[in-house]
Amino acid sequence: MSPDAAKSLPPRWLAFLREVDKQLNAPVELHCLGGFVLAAVYGLPRPTADVDYIAAIPSDTLPDLERIAGRGSALAEKQGLYFQYVTVADVPESYAERLTELLPCQLFQLRLLVRSGRV
């Protein structure tokens, strides 16, 4: 994993995540996967406009996340980026034990967790 993901994230992604963070009323933890993770964590060139996530904790924050940053939200229209809840995904057994925070100490309400280790 990149030692400083905030430096490797394209500025538009960091601006988007900070805007989402500002609009959240309570802490939210997202378990992320997909092209965004490959680009942000491993530096692989993956053009993507979404942050795929398979879990939001607490789960009752899903409606707020969709309203704030889901596809079709005002922020998504403004930034061209959005969050997408993935309901079907293959993850390894005990994947949650290998999650690490993508931007520790960079956001206040939003925690993005990604699988550490090899791609």
For the chain, how many residues are written?
119
- Rounded mean pLDDT, 21-45: 88
Beta strands, E only, the chain: 28-33, 50-57, 82-85, 99-101, 110-115
- Amino acid type, 71: R
Spatial strand order of the sheet with 99-101 comes to: 82-85, 50-57, 28-33, 110-115, 99-101
Listed residue (51, 21, 20) closest to 38, CA to CA = 51
In sequence order, the 6+-apart residues with CB closer than 8 A to the CB of 13 are 36, 40, 81
Residue 11 has pLDDT above 60, yes or no: yes
Name the pTM for this structure: 0.86
**Better-predicted residue by pLDDT, 95 or 2:** 95
Per-residue model confidence as pLDDT tens digits over 51-106: 999 999 999 999 999 999 999 999 999 999 999 999 877 777 777 888 999 999 99
**Better-predicted residue by pLDDT, 34 or 28:** 28
**Better-predicted residue by pLDDT, 3 or 114:** 114
- Amino acid type, 18: R
Among all chains, which residue has been given the structure tokens 């009323």? 25
